[in-house]
Amino acid sequence: MRILLQNFETGLYLCADGRWTDDPAKARAFPNTVQATGFMLNQRLRCTFVVVLPIAPTSVLPLAGPTDDCRRVLPSSRRPPREGGSGKSRLFRTV
C-alpha cells in the first residue's frame, strides 16, 4: 500500500519536491497515515486529504481523517459512563 496526500479540488498528489502531479506513482509516499497527516497539518496544506492506494493503483481509498490511527480499546475500568445509561459505553473511543 502507498500512503499519499491528494488535493481534493484538483485531484493531484503531492510530490517529494513539493510540486503536485496527477500520477500517483510519482507522488511522495509516507510510511503511515499518522506521518502523512502530521505533514499535511504542519505544512498547512488546504483541501488535502490522506489516501491509501494499493501497490498497483486501481482504486483510491480516502480516509476519514486524522483520527483513523488514533483509536484504541480502553479497559472497562477507564471507560466513561454514558449519560442516562446503564454505565456501559462503546467498545472504541477516539482519544
Q: Which own/partner pairs from 39-43 qualify as long-range (CB within 8 Å, at least 24 positions apart)?
A: 39/5, 40/5, 41/66
Q: Is the pLDDT of residue 18 over 70?
A: yes
Region of residue 87 (left: phi > 0; alpha: psi -120 to 50; beta: else): left
Confidence (pLDDT) at 50? 94
pTM attached to this predicted model:
0.58
Q: pLDDT tens digits for 48-84?
A: 999 998 876 555 555 555 444 444 444 444 444 454 4
